[in-house]
A and B are shown apart, each in its own frame.
Chain A
Amino acid sequence: MRSLWRFDSPRHRSQKTGYWFILPYAVFFGAFVAYPLVFSFILLFHRWNVVTPMEWIGLKNFERLLSDPLFFKAIMNTLKFLLIHIPLQMVVALGIAVLLNSRLKFRGFFRAVFFLPVVVSGVVVTILWQQLYAFDSGLLNRMLSAVGIGKIPWLIDPDMAMLSIALMATWKNVGIYIILFLVGLQDVPRELYDSASIDGATRARQFFRITLPMLRPTFVVVVVLSTIGGFSLFVEPYVLTGGGPMESTLSAVLYIYNQAFYFNHMGYAATLGFVFALIILGVVLLQRKVIETEPMT
Chain B
Amino acid sequence: MSRRHAGKTLLLVSVCTLMVGMGCSNRRGPEGAAGGGVIELTYWPAPNPQEMQLADTLVRRWNRTHPTIQVRMQSIPVSQSTEEVLLAAIAGKTTPDVCSNIWPGALHEYTRAGGLIPLDQFSDFDSIALARTPRDLLEPFRSENGHYYQIPWKTNPVMMFYNIRMFEEAGVARAPRTYSEFFAAAKKLTRDLDGDGQIDVWAGERDIRPIWWQRLFDFYPFYIAASGGKTLFRMGEPDFNDDAARSVFRFFQECYQQNYFPHTYFQGGDPFLLEKKATHFAGPWEVATLHSLAPHIRYDVAPLPVPDEHKGPVYTYGDYKNIGVFGTTKHPREAWEFVKYLLHAEHDLLLLTVTNQIPVRGDLLTNQLFSEYFRQNPKMVRFAEQAASTRGVDAAPDLKEILDAISQEYEACAVYGKVTPTEAVNDAFRRTKMIVEWNK
A2 to B4, CA, bound (A): 9
Would you call A64 an interface residue if the criterion is a C-beta within 8 Å of the partner chain's C-beta atoms?
yes
5 sampled A-B residue pairs with Cβ under 8 A: A20-B6, A49-B87, A49-B109, A136-B264, A244-B209
B210 touches A244 (CB 8 A): yes
A4 touches B416 (CB 8 A): no
Q: Which residues of B contact A31 (CB under 8 A)?
A: 18, 21-22
Q: Which residues of A contact B109 (CB under 8 A)?
A: 49, 51-52
Residues of chain A having any CB pair with chain B under 8 Å:
1-2, 4, 17, 20, 23-24, 27, 31, 47, 49-52, 60-61, 63-64, 67-70, 135-136, 158, 242, 244-247, 262-264, 268
A4 touches B209 (CB 8 A): no
B14 touches A51 (CB 8 A): no
A244 touches B411 (CB 8 A): yes
**Interface of chain B, helix or strand or loop or mixed?**
helix
Would you call B42 an interface residue if the criterion is a C-beta within 8 Å of the partner chain's C-beta atoms?
no
A247 touches B4 (CB 8 A): no
B209 touches A263 (CB 8 A): no
Question: Which of the residues B22, B113, B398 comes within 8 Å of A263, measured between beta carbons?
Answer: B398
A245 to B416, CA, bound (A): 9
Would you call B64 an interface residue if the criterion is a C-beta within 8 Å of the partner chain's C-beta atoms?
no
Residues of chain B having any CB pair with chain A under 8 Å:
2-4, 6-7, 10-11, 14, 17-18, 21-22, 87-88, 90-91, 109, 112-115, 209-210, 264, 398, 400-401, 404, 408, 411-412, 416, 418, 431, 434, 437-439
Known: A60-B438, A67-B434, A68-B434. A246 touches B209 (CB 8 A): no
B411 touches A51 (CB 8 A): no
A158 touches B416 (CB 8 A): yes
Most buried by B among A135, A242, A245: A245
Known: A27-B18, A51-B113, A64-B434. A20 touches B400 (CB 8 A): no
CB distance from A24 to the nearest CB of B (A): 6
A4 touches B2 (CB 8 A): yes
Question: Which of the residues B7, B113, B210, B404 comes within 8 Å of A20, measured between beta carbons?
Answer: B7
A50 to B91, CA, bound (A): 7
A67 to B416, CA, bound (A): 25
Q: Which residues of A contact B400 (CB under 8 A)?
A: 262-263
Give the residue name and chain of the B residue nearest to A264 (CB): B87
Q: A2-B4, A67-B434 are in contact. List 7 more A-B contacts (CB 8 A).
A: A23-B10, A24-B14, A52-B114, A63-B438, A136-B264, A242-B210, A244-B209
Q: Which residues of B contact A2 (CB under 8 A)?
A: 2, 4
CB distance from B102 to the nearest CB of A (A): 15
CB distance from B261 to the nearest CB of A (A): 15
A52 touches B113 (CB 8 A): yes
Q: Which residues of B contact A135 (CB under 8 A)?
A: 264
B438 touches A1 (CB 8 A): no
3 nearest interchain CB pairs? A51-B91, A51-B113, A4-B3
A246 to B415, CA, bound (A): 10
Q: Which residues of B contact A246 (CB under 8 A)?
A: 408, 411-412, 416, 418
Q: Which residues of A contact B87 (CB under 8 A)?
A: 49-51, 264
Most buried by A among B3, B10, B431: B3
Give the residue name and chain of the A residue nearest to B4 (CB): A4
Give the residue name and chain of the A residue nearest to B21 (CB): A31
B112 touches A23 (CB 8 A): no
Q: Which residues of A contact B431 (CB under 8 A)?
A: 69-70
Question: Which of the residues A27, A52, A64 comes within 8 Å of B438, measured between beta carbons?
Answer: A64
Known: A31-B21, A51-B91, A67-B434. A245 touches B7 (CB 8 A): no
CB distance from B410 to the nearest CB of A (A): 11
Q: Which residues of B contact A51 (CB under 8 A)?
A: 87-88, 90-91, 109, 113, 115
Most buried by A among B2, B114, B264, B408: B408
Q: Which residues of A contact B411 (CB under 8 A)?
A: 244-246
A1 to B109, CA, bound (A): 62
A51 to B18, CA, bound (A): 23
CB distance from B202 to the nearest CB of A (A): 16
Q: Which residues of A contact B91 (CB under 8 A)?
A: 50-51
Q: Which residues of A contact B209 (CB under 8 A)?
A: 242, 244
CB distance from A122 to the nearest CB of B (A): 22
Give the residue name and chain of the B residue nearest to A267 (CB): B438
A27 touches B14 (CB 8 A): yes
Give the residue name and chain of the A residue nearest to B2 (CB): A1
Q: Which residues of B contact A244 (CB under 8 A)?
A: 209-210, 411
CB distance from A54 to the nearest CB of B (A): 12
Known: A20-B7, A245-B416. A268 touches B21 (CB 8 A): no
B408 touches A247 (CB 8 A): yes
Give the residue name and chain of the B residue nearest to A261 (CB): B84
Most buried by B among A1, A2, A52, A264: A52
Q: Which residues of B contact A47 (CB under 8 A)?
A: 438-439
Give the residue name and chain of the B residue nearest to A31 (CB): B18
Question: Which of the residues A17, A20, A52, A61 comes within 8 Å of B112, measured between beta carbons?
Answer: A52
A31 to B14, CA, bound (A): 11
Q: Which residues of A contact B17 (CB under 8 A)?
A: 27
CB distance from A198 to the nearest CB of B (A): 61
Give the residue name and chain of the B residue nearest to A258 (CB): B404
CB distance from A150 to the nearest CB of B (A): 14
CB distance from B305 to the nearest CB of A (A): 26
Give the residue name and chain of the A residue nearest to B115 (CB): A51
Q: Which residues of B contact A63 (CB under 8 A)?
A: 438
A231 to B21, CA, bound (A): 30
Q: Which residues of B contact A64 (CB under 8 A)?
A: 434, 437-438
